[in-house]
Structure 1
Amino acid sequence: MNSILHSQISVRRRGGKIEDYLPIHDFIDSTKELCSDNRHRLLHTMWGIRRVIVPIFGHSIINGDNKTVNVKDLCEQDHILPDYQNKFIPTLGDFVSALDNSVVNNLDFDSFSESYKHDKELYDLLLSPLANTGRKTSLIITHNSWFINEIVPRILKREVEIRDFEIIPSDIFDNMNFRLWMDNGSSYPESCKLTVGKVVG
């Protein structure tokens, strides 16, 4: 589903016009620039919403009908859930579990993060995947040129770094196995399997 279709969902649910929502839906899918298949959906997680989307766009926007729209709800209900047939929202851990650890474990995350240790706000953001998943390999999501030069300047207003990076975005996706749940919700990720078919109450 493209960003125009997601924006049309937002208009039907929340009023306003397509242009009110297009920047957010475009940005959620901006990782398609890094990977052309559905492995790209790293921002289609609560980590992506909380750590990236909301800090960039704010907790709410005002649409063309002068109504306040909650950005978290917009991301969940109009973008992520429709991409997975309204079945689930994957966790960052679901994506991390698809990584080939035999390659990723050899990347030098320690040196990368150490170089930003003087900047506590940035350092905490870079380590947030580890806090979220408990897996050191998850640091590949923030310890790369894309995150430093595309995401960090938008969130923390830091300067772009013009240099060679040891860890690049292709290191993420070249080492991530495609899982069936990534295919528009064709199956369930591990984070959902224990609750499928159970009644919560």
Structure 2
Amino acid sequence: MHSLRAEGISAGWCAARSVAGILAEAAAFPPGIALLDLDLGRDPNGTRVDGTHLVGPLLDSGWRVLVLSGSSDRTRIGGALAAGTLAWVPKHAPFPALLAAVRAALGGGTVMPPNRRAELIDLYEERTARHRELATKMGRLTQREREVLAELARGKRAQAVADQFVVSLSTVRTQIRAILTKLEVGSQLEAVALYRRAHGS
């Protein structure tokens, strides 16, 4: 912030550590350019504060947002851009690059190459579509089928699953066939892979 001030740009630092606190501090100033990190540590309750959740409320309050983040997750960056962020500037970028981005934003100019912006937004939208499709497939499973798939994902064999749920092996095999059909996969390994992807493991 001191470096921006040295360049004649009025800048301040938000000390709040929660989403509500950050938005309250922002509301105390006339809307301008917000330099927003995507990884804001943890709030007093220990909950991780994700900067992407602040983009919409800041925009609604009249702020324009520049993401200044060390995150290398291009999907998260694309999500912030899709939500209306002007641009992403890596934290490790040289100060002149940040200064140029801030000045371009203040002047209403192009802050980020349109093709790069579109590439990151497309990546986010593609992954979001895949997650939505996966959630739809998982939603087709009955409660017992989800339980069976969870046990298979833990490495249990069909007989062990049958013993656990006190049912016959043929019943579990029927459930496994139903799982494969509903998930549109050809093998138990593929079904387990989808389960793990859906549960972030």
Name whichever structure is richer in strand by fraction: 2
Higher relative contact order (CA 8 A, sep 6+): 1
TM-score > 0.5, shorter chain as reference: no
TM-score category of the 2 structures, normalised to the smaller one: under 0.3
TM-score by length of 1: 0.26
**Greater Cα radius of gyration, structure 1 or 2:** 2
